[in-house]
Structure 1
């Protein structure tokens, strides 16, 4: 039982670390943070960033191998993510005139973060 709890804690801390790495990486690329760890409607958005007139909803994935991170965004994850995006947009009417997209930042040990622009389509309806 303790090993499962310890494993969960390590996974939680790895996720927080990966989100900070992704945030710093995107800041260096000129993005401005709007929100972090936004949860609503049964989904979560790791980072919400803005650059110019584009609002970027970012999924951060940390895995031992980059290939595992790339395959970690499943159809179910995209649906939950899109529900959270719709909830965020409903609470932020100023965002209606902007362009939106879903990016991903993949983190793996001893590798530079990999930022995928428009990594997947948002399900808006």
Structure 2
């Protein structure tokens, strides 16, 4: 089955989705700050893809994927094995760029943003993949 073509960057639906995603990332960052995390990076670009948020609390660095969906189950299921592989590879690049955090525990978290609810933070949502 052929893959649907990517929408044009000028497509109003794509721009609206990007605005929703950026808003969800902002809300997720504030929720993490209120839990005691310091945000080290937002929309961190690597050759393997983008990391939505990089946060640190004590000796733990959280690589955070933010998903904005209609409900939490849909948001959680949107982080499949491909996303997990991409985030694992991107985290290795981030860590190589930030050697001061090499001794920290690296964890992969998901923040689910659903309408009319406070963001839900799932710590240690998955393990790194090769």
Fold agreement, TM-score > 0.5 = yes
Distance 1:66 1:103 in 2: 14
Structure 2 counterpart of 1:102: 108
Structure 2 counterpart of 1:46: 52
Shift, 1:42, TM fit: 2.1
Shift, 1:95, TM fit: 1.0
Q: Which runs of 4+ in 1 moved over 4 A?
A: none
Distance 2:57 2:48 in 1: 27
Task: Output the aligned Cα RMSD.
Answer: 1.6
Structure 1 counterpart of 2:71: 65
Scaled by the length of structure 2, what TM-score is found? Answer: 0.89
Distance 2:80 2:113 in 1: 17
Shift, 1:89, TM fit: 0.6
Structure 1 counterpart of 2:98: 92
Distance 1:113 1:80 in 2: 23
- Is 100-109 or 4-13 further displaced after alignment? 4-13
Alignment of 1:4-15 (within 5 A): 5-15=11-21
Counterpart secondary structure, 1:76: helix
Where does the alignment leave 5 or more consecutive residues of structure 2 unmatched? 1-6
Scaled by the length of structure 1, what TM-score is found? Answer: 0.93
Where does the alignment leave 5 or more consecutive residues of structure 1 unmatched? none
Note if 1:22 corresponds to 2:36.
no
Note if 1:117 corresponds to 2:118.
no
Structure 1, residues 26-61: CA drift from partner, whole Å, max 9, x if none? 000000011111111222110000000111110000
Note if 1:76 corresponds to 2:82.
yes
